Structure 1
Amino acid sequence: MQAADLPDNETQRLTALHALHVLDTPIDEAFDRITQLAQDLFEVPIALVSLVDKERQWFKSHSGLDTCETSREISFCAHAVAKNAPLVIENALNDPRFVDNPLVENTTQIRFYAGHPLRPSEGLPVGTLCLIDRKPRTFSQRDRQLLKGLAGQVEELLRQHQMRRSLAQTTLRYEALFNGSATGIIRINRSGKVLDINPFALTMLGYDPQEVIGQNVAMLTPAAISARHDSFISDFLAGGEPKVIGRGREVEARHKTGYTIPVHLAVNAIQNEQGHVVEFLGILTNLSNIYDASQRIQKEQSLLKVLHQGITDYQALMSGERLWTFLMEALRELTDSDYALIGEVLPTDTTNALKIHAITDLTWNPDSRHLMEQLRSGNMMLTNPHSLLGRVFAYGEVIITDDVYSHIKRGGFPPGHPRLTNYLGAPIFSGERLIGMFAIANSKQPLNQALLDWLQPFTDTCALLINLYRQMAEREQVTRDLANARDQAEQANKAKSEFLSSMSHELRTPLNAIIGFAQLLAKGRREPLSDKQQRQVGQIEKSGQHLLSLINDVLDLAKIEAGLTPLSLEPLLIANVLDDACSTLEANIDAAGITLSRAPLACSWQVIADYTRTKQVLLNLLSNAIKYNCINGTVHIGAEQSGDSLCISITDAGCGIALERQHELFEPFNRLGAEYSTIQGTGIGLAITKELVERMGGQIGFKSQLGQGSTFWFTLPITDQKANPPQPIAATSNEIIDSSSPAYKLLYIEDNPTNQHLMEDIIEDFKHIQLQTVASAELGLEIMRHSPPDLVLMDIHLPGMNGYQALDAIQQDAKLKHISVVALSANAMDRDLKYGLAAGFADYLTKPIEIEKLTATLKRFLAVTLKE
């Protein structure tokens, strides 16, 4: 036996079969008449309507056969379905596919089979109309055509079965929707008569079905439009513009008792197959609850508007001193009152007092107007605890009365006072604390607890605003105090900066002469000094430079503390900085007889830091290790990684630091008693070091034991970024200017005679430069106009016109503005240099003058030629 193959579209075929919803349905006479007709027409004992399911074939009609289904495996029809083509077996015993089929061998004894596929939907075969005989027979072409025709009838029956089922389900859904809907539904015909009405609409409008069905739908509309209702329908049917049909709108429906109900009406026109309107379907949604809620919402919106504006516009209302007036007027509007007040409760030594922030004008004569003005300004407070107001602000009671003049707590009203018909006074609490009150009079609403409860959000908002009002007042006072403190701090800082600048200028001016003349004496070629004199002059210059370094340290600390020291944080190799610092102090180390040792460093260690400031930190710590060491002592530099930081340590073999004074170590100008020793210093190096390390994101500390030396350490953040290559350091030049070069005119404007002599002595060696010195800017300008110099060196602090004023005059003069002007000043702070360069000075040199730097400046601006 050969079972039928599965069709390629088996899944779609089964879907189409199941969509018919015909499997396992009861006997249907229409199908049986087809199979009986087939039996009679073809004179066969068996005719079947066979539907091939996934694992069986089921017979919708089985004339001449007792069973209603068989296995698909032995089904002849499955072969017709697989080929989707008619199948005719004239003698099954001669067909190898069926010769051993159980249906051939058993009592059924099929010998002849003819089946035509049934394709009721999309050409998919779901089964067959088949003929079976127990003896072989032939089947002509005419027979095939007749079988095909009968199969077409079966297909139509299958389609009708599917349509009837779909229609039945649609009807059930419609009935459920119509009868169970939570909205009113009314069917009316073209003339406006009610065809049907659902239970919800009957309940909503108060009718029984027999009172409405068959009547004109106009009976359900208000009297004002019922007479015109039929014209709405006729106009629409005549092609007029629809007002409700197909659109929907809010209208009123008439209840059986006569009152109107707000509804939303949507009317749909129902058309037949020819597109003609046959009836109308109206959908009624009851809007009564929505309308009631809308009225409540409108009432609440007025309250919410007040609350929202009071909170969101609080700052603007408070800044314009309109907050309390706004709240008072809102209270009047919310309660339909003629008069209202809002006040703040302030405790006193005896009882509470009321400070009125806003009150409705109650004036009736000049005296009362003056009283109102005092109350509004807050200059007058109410303190009587026994009046209608006092019971509220003194004791926190709620006072409500509709008869003010007979109330036992009523005070007297002077002649002319506006009449008060009712009164409500309510306290305002913040937690348990009484902080304010409001009152209304002559309200057109009933004054009762319900109104007070409805106003509770307003009362709570008033409590919030009073607290905010107080906090703002306190904040404004704190702001004023902070502003005063800031102004004082800025004045102190300005005075400090001015003092530092002045000190720097006053000290640098004499140092300019001391260091300058010392350098000239040391470098004199025409009258060279003896060795002893060289040592003496060297000592003068060394002492001057030391004094200058002390001044620079003081200024450096002041700038760091003020945050005015810029840092250039970038990746750098710590080994390069250590090499640079050790090289700088090599002479000091040798002179002190110190043995310096360094732990091996990983070449890859890189930190994020400022190169110059890191070197300054190392120089400060190494200098201290050298100065405070023992004779022929040792200094060891170590480095190790600690988490994300690199720790650099410097250990000396000095006398150490006493435990009881270690907490003073980083205090500026505190040398812990070393000021009485022969070791020079200011006591601010460690303070500067600490500030620099912390500003670079590191930490600093130390370990020390008296008599056993000290270890100072600091950390810097480690980074994986690539370090920039170290910048070459410009070599100090001992170049001199070639005397064979052409002559240049140099004008030096300086009022200090010592500094004038110093500059004359410096320029004396430069034969090609003609120096002219003047003591004032005014005289310098006159000389420039008559004999323009090639370069001007100018002090800033000059008698009369100062250096900046003179520079401005030069820049404004078309004949002089091409002349380069270099500032030479004792004002040596960073801000002085930045300001000077920004003002237009070609360069800014500071005192004490460095001859090498001056030489480089002359070379740059006079284009001189130098030789060794």
Structure 2
Amino acid sequence: MSDPLLPVNETERLQHLHELAILDSGRDAAFDRLTELARDLFDTPIALVSLVDKNRQWFKSEQGFNCTETHRDISFCSHAISLGENLIIPDTLADEQFRDNPLVTGERSIRFYAGIPISISDGLHLGSFCILDTRPRTLSAREVLRLEQLARQAEELIRLHQQTLILAREKNEVGISRARYRAIVDSAAAGIIRINHLGTILEVNPFAQQLLDYSEEELKGQNVKVIMPNPWAREHDDYLSRFMQSGQAKIIGKGREVEARRKDGTRLPIHLGVSEVHSNQPEERQFIGILSDLQDVRAAQRAEQQEKALLKILHQGLTDYQALLSKDKLWAFLMEALRELTDSEYAFIGEVLLVDGRKALKLHAITDLSWSKESKLLMDKLVAGDMLLSNPDTLIGKVFADEELIIDNKMQERFENSHLPPGHPELYRYMGVPIFDQGEVIGMFAIANGQKDYQPELAEWLNPFTSTCALLIRLYRQMHEREQINGQLRQARDAAQQASQAKSEFLSSMSHELRTPMNAILGFAQLLQSGKHPLTDRQQRHVKQIYKSGQHLLALINDVLDLARIEAGRISVSLESLNVREMMLDALAGLQPIADQYQILLQPDESTDQTIWVTADYTRCQQVLINLVTNAIKYNRPEGQVFIRCKTQGNQLRIEVEDTGEGISSDQLEQLFQPFSRLGAENSAIEGTGIGLALSQQLVELMQGRIGVESEEHKGSCFWFTLPLADQSSAEHHNPTQKTDAEQKGIHLLYVEDNPANQRLLKAFVDEHPAYRLSLASSAEIALEMAASDIPDLILMDLDLPGITGVQAQKMLSRNPLTRKIPVIAVSAAASDKCRSELMSDGFIDYLNKPLDLDQLLQTLQKQLEH
């Protein structure tokens, strides 16, 4: 806060102020009425007449400040007299000079200040007439002028005070009072009328004469009701009589807004403040009324109300345009709003179209001008767009064709309505406004029969409305174009859905047909390897090769089908919180034999935090990691190494798989994630399909992550993928449970399967585990009877059965009281045609995919039968 500078004539100024003997004088009703009037006119909580002494500012009158003086150092008025000009601070907090002023930061919280220096001698500023507010605001030029007028009135009152001092030395007390009153009356910047106790006008000052358009002779001796419209005139005498008898005042000593009546009978808004001139004799009691013209204030209020109404209409039109358009109410809404805004009887809004190279007008909304059945049909055609207006030589045509603003306030005199058809409503005022968009007329609106003549300023005031119409016409056109495009897109979508459905059906069929024989091949190979009857070494090698080749073929089938399902949008991921360390250990455990075969050392990051959780699909995440590590093993050098690391990057976890192989050249990097691209390795002894990386990329992106590679020839490669970190508070840490050996129980299994090879496989599996007892059913119908008569401990249900499907059979089992509690595991060769969550909702407790992994089957049986 900077201290106010002292005026150059400070000594002379203080001497002049003290000579006036006004400091610390009593309250003055005239000053108080001025500050009260200022508060009412400007709607501010505080108005002051401030006089600046040597170390203080003292208030001759204050309204709303609730103290008589403040220190000069924090005074706003001190700055005003230092400058010697008007000081207006719209927002004190935004002003470097005042933002830390105690009056701003303290409990008064002054945010706005406007002060007019007051002086009765050139250059000697005594103080200021000011208004203050606790909220930021601005003043218009007219408001500043009005504040200056009040300041001049304050100066006149100070002069009056000065004159009173002078007259006190020369005249008696009565003469001084008359001089003061005369000074107020003659020089006041407000109307002053003095009446007696009967309401008779005794005196009228020049300002009041000019305001009411009366001469003093015309008013003196008249009852004051002559300048009052009803109801005030009707009630005035009774009110004055009651006041004289009881002394109870409703107006006297207060101020309020009323209306006055001019000589010509017109009414004008005023602020009226009434004071009583006290006398011991009732017949000598008189009253003084101060009239302030509120015409400018009321005009500003009306303009503000109109602006608010316009903004409200534009806001609703823009925010609700889709709903209004969908109900065909937008243009009617805007047209009615236009009529109300302009006080017009008729209106229309139209869009300009090009028809055969010529402009024509399509009406979107028009006030009903019909006067007959035929004219009503005509109006309906115009609004429906079945008829366009194209004549450029009419008052309408000149707007949309010649792009002109047309105003005609004398249509009756010029045309005598001869240009209108018989019966057409009479038109006498008209304004047509073109709607421009990027220099082109795209529409127009027109209004007619306003309450007063149309002026170009009205069209200018309606510019926001015009711009809104231009925007909505563009949106209207875009919506129609979009509707056409959407129709074409719907046709293309239907065709794509048909193609996708055909592809999905083909994938389902291929999955079943390929995986069903693989189930028997791999199953019996596993049984031969671990059967009761040992094989010769040669037979073991042959069986091992069968199993290895079968696994390779199954991986190829799985990858191809997974990639095809992703492209068809048929594969989904189940995103849940999973522990990264556990997932990595599970994945790497199965890769150690491959690493040993290739003489590769796996180096997992042992420092991986046990508490790191990501949001991902456990199975798909393992699939990606296994694919990357397998590639790092196969494409490494002998006795090489593979490093697996984890790094957090913001809200993502980056998993890296780095090898010590030969690396990849820069020109081959872009081909890495292309399906069936093996970068020349297809001619090597390294097994692979060329689709693992492409499938991994698709799966990572489905899990909301990214995948990439960093490589340099002869220096190895680093493949990485990212996954979003899970919310630690919601991550569930699952402790491994101790599994119970199922062989210790007498367990009855019912296997529902129509394929004999698969039946033989499971029978051979059970032969290896004598604690299980197996029943076979080749159809759901047989299975339902068997389950009810000899209740099994668990049912393995193939989903693709002849007749009743596996899903239908499960629903029937759940409705039967005898079988509803039997746990049922779904088995299918359709490669997860139904996702796990859907099968769980159908009542299955788990899901096994063909070809059956016998180790996984055993673990699943043990896990489910423990509960």
Structure 2 length-normalised TM: 0.64
Partners of 1:772 and 1:696 lie apart in 2 by 45
Question: Does residue 537 in structure 1 map to residue 540 in structure 2?
Answer: no
Say if 1:798 and 1:460 are closer, same or farther in 2 by CA, change over 3 A: same
CA contact (8 A) 1:559 1:565 kept: no
* Residue of structure 1 equivalent to 2:794: 791
The equivalent position to 1:634 in structure 2, one of 616, 637, 640, is 640
Question: Does residue 747 in structure 1 map to residue 750 in structure 2?
Answer: yes
Compute the displacement of 1:794 (Å): 1.3
Question: Does residue 844 in structure 1 map to residue 847 in structure 2?
Answer: yes
**Helix, strand or coil for the counterpart of 1:841?**
coil
**Helix, strand or coil for the counterpart of 2:678?**
coil
CA contact (8 A) 2:633 2:642 kept: no
Q: CA RMSD in A?
A: 5.4
CA contact (8 A) 1:570 1:609 kept: yes
CA contact (8 A) 1:387 1:411 kept: no
The equivalent position to 1:378 in structure 2, one of 371, 385, 401, is 385
Alignment of 1:496-575 (within 5 A): 499-525=506-532, 527-554=533-560, 557=563, 564-567=572-575
* Residue of structure 1 equivalent to 2:808: 805
* Residue of structure 2 equivalent to 1:343: 350
Compute the displacement of 1:667 (Å): 0.9
Q: Residues 125-168 of structure 1, C-alpha deviation per residue, up to 9 Å, x if partnerless?
A: xxxxxxxxxxxxxxxxxxxxxxxxxxxxxxxxxxxxxxx9xx9x
* Residue of structure 2 equivalent to 1:236: 243
Number of aligned residue pairs: 689
Say if 1:823 and 1:729 are closer, same or farther in 2 by CA, change over 3 A: same
**Helix, strand or coil for the counterpart of 1:664?**
coil
Say if 1:660 and 1:478 are closer, same or farther in 2 by CA, change over 3 A: same
Question: Does residue 315 in structure 1 map to residue 322 in structure 2?
Answer: yes
**Helix, strand or coil for the counterpart of 1:512?**
helix
> Given residue 435 of structure 1, which amino acid in structure 2 is its aligned partner?
I
Partners of 1:674 and 1:433 lie apart in 2 by 64
Q: Residues 744-781 of structure 1, C-alpha deviation per residue, up to 9 Å, x if partnerless?
A: 54322211121122222222344454432222112221
* Residue of structure 2 equivalent to 1:264: 271
**Helix, strand or coil for the counterpart of 1:712?**
strand
* Residue of structure 1 equivalent to 2:717: 711
Say if 1:316 and 1:682 are closer, same or farther in 2 by CA, change over 3 A: same
Q: Residues 390-426 of structure 1, C-alpha deviation per residue, up to 9 Å, x if partnerless?
A: 444333245566569998xx99988877777776554
**Helix, strand or coil for the counterpart of 1:806?**
helix
Partners of 2:805 and 2:355 lie apart in 1 by 64
> Given residue 743 of structure 2, which amino acid in structure 1 is its aligned partner?
I
* Residue of structure 2 equivalent to 1:155: none
Partners of 1:353 and 1:223 lie apart in 2 by 54
CA contact (8 A) 1:352 1:383 kept: yes
Say if 1:853 and 1:732 are closer, same or farther in 2 by CA, change over 3 A: farther
* Residue of structure 2 equivalent to 1:393: 400
Alignment of 1:67-82 (within 5 A): none
Partners of 2:209 and 2:378 lie apart in 1 by 67
Structure 1 length-normalised TM: 0.64
Question: Does residue 772 in structure 1 map to residue 779 in structure 2?
Answer: no
Partners of 1:241 and 1:748 lie apart in 2 by 104
> Given residue 553 of structure 1, which amino acid in structure 2 is its aligned partner?
D
Return 770-779 or 559-568, whichever deviates more. 559-568
Partners of 1:854 and 1:825 lie apart in 2 by 13
CA contact (8 A) 1:794 1:823 kept: yes
Compute the displacement of 1:433 (Å): 0.3
Say if 1:246 and 1:311 are closer, same or farther in 2 by CA, change over 3 A: farther
* Residue of structure 2 equivalent to 1:652: 660
CA contact (8 A) 1:355 1:382 kept: yes
Q: Residues 435-472 of structure 1, C-alpha deviation per residue, up to 9 Å, x if partnerless?
A: 11345667775567566556555444433332232233
Question: Does residue 737 in structure 1 map to residue 740 in structure 2?
Answer: no
> Given residue 540 of structure 1, which amino acid in structure 2 is its aligned partner?
I
CA contact (8 A) 2:629 2:642 kept: no
* Residue of structure 1 equivalent to 2:858: 855
Alignment of 1:374-773 (within 5 A): 374-385=381-392, 389-398=396-405, 425-439=432-446, 446=453, 458-478=465-485, 499-525=506-532, 527-554=533-560, 557=563, 564-567=572-575, 584-594=590-600, 596=601, 609=614, 617-629=624-636, 632=638, 634-635=640-641, 637=643, 648=656, 650-654=658-662, 657=664, 660-691=667-698, 700-705=708-713, 708=714, 710-714=716-720, 737=743, 742=746, 744-767=747-770, 769-773=772-776
Say if 1:359 and 1:292 are closer, same or farther in 2 by CA, change over 3 A: closer
Return 350-359 or 508-517, whichever deviates more. 350-359
**Helix, strand or coil for the counterpart of 2:246?**
coil
Say if 1:840 and 1:666 are closer, same or farther in 2 by CA, change over 3 A: same
**Helix, strand or coil for the counterpart of 1:754?**
helix
Q: Percent identity?
A: 45
Say if 1:375 and 1:264 are closer, same or farther in 2 by CA, change over 3 A: same
Partners of 2:268 and 2:732 lie apart in 1 by 90
Return 386-395 or 196-205, whichever deviates more. 196-205
Alignment of 1:96-495 (within 5 A): 182-184=189-191, 200-201=207-208, 204-205=211-212, 221=228, 229-239=236-246, 242-245=249-252, 248-253=255-260, 261-267=268-274, 282-291=289-298, 307=314, 310-329=317-336, 340-359=347-366, 371-385=378-392, 389-398=396-405, 425-439=432-446, 446=453, 458-478=465-485
CA contact (8 A) 2:632 2:657 kept: no
Say if 1:790 and 1:239 are closer, same or farther in 2 by CA, change over 3 A: same
Q: Residues 522-541 of structure 1, C-alpha deviation per residue, up to 9 Å, x if partnerless?
A: 2221x332222222222222
CA contact (8 A) 2:754 2:779 kept: yes
**Helix, strand or coil for the counterpart of 1:427?**
strand
**Helix, strand or coil for the counterpart of 1:835?**
helix
**Helix, strand or coil for the counterpart of 1:539?**
helix
> Given residue 327 of structure 2, which amino acid in structure 1 is its aligned partner?
G
* Residue of structure 2 equivalent to 1:157: none
Partners of 1:291 and 1:585 lie apart in 2 by 88
> Given residue 808 of structure 2, which amino acid in structure 1 is its aligned partner?
Q
CA contact (8 A) 2:615 2:726 kept: no
Partners of 1:468 and 1:696 lie apart in 2 by 35
**Helix, strand or coil for the counterpart of 1:395?**
coil
* Residue of structure 1 equivalent to 2:822: 819
**Helix, strand or coil for the counterpart of 2:856?**
helix
CA contact (8 A) 2:664 2:717 kept: no
* Residue of structure 2 equivalent to 1:160: none
Partners of 2:700 and 2:194 lie apart in 1 by 91
> Given residue 757 of structure 2, which amino acid in structure 1 is its aligned partner?
T
Compute the displacement of 1:489 (Å): 6.0
**Helix, strand or coil for the counterpart of 2:835?**
helix
Partners of 2:854 and 2:547 lie apart in 1 by 13
Partners of 1:811 and 1:757 lie apart in 2 by 28
**Helix, strand or coil for the counterpart of 1:737?**
helix
**Helix, strand or coil for the counterpart of 2:401?**
helix
> Given residue 552 of structure 2, which amino acid in structure 1 is its aligned partner?
H
Compute the displacement of 1:346 (Å): 1.7
> Given residue 806 of structure 2, which amino acid in structure 1 is its aligned partner?
G
> Given residue 786 of structure 1, which amino acid in structure 2 is its aligned partner?
S
Partners of 1:725 and 1:218 lie apart in 2 by 88
Partners of 1:212 and 1:404 lie apart in 2 by 43
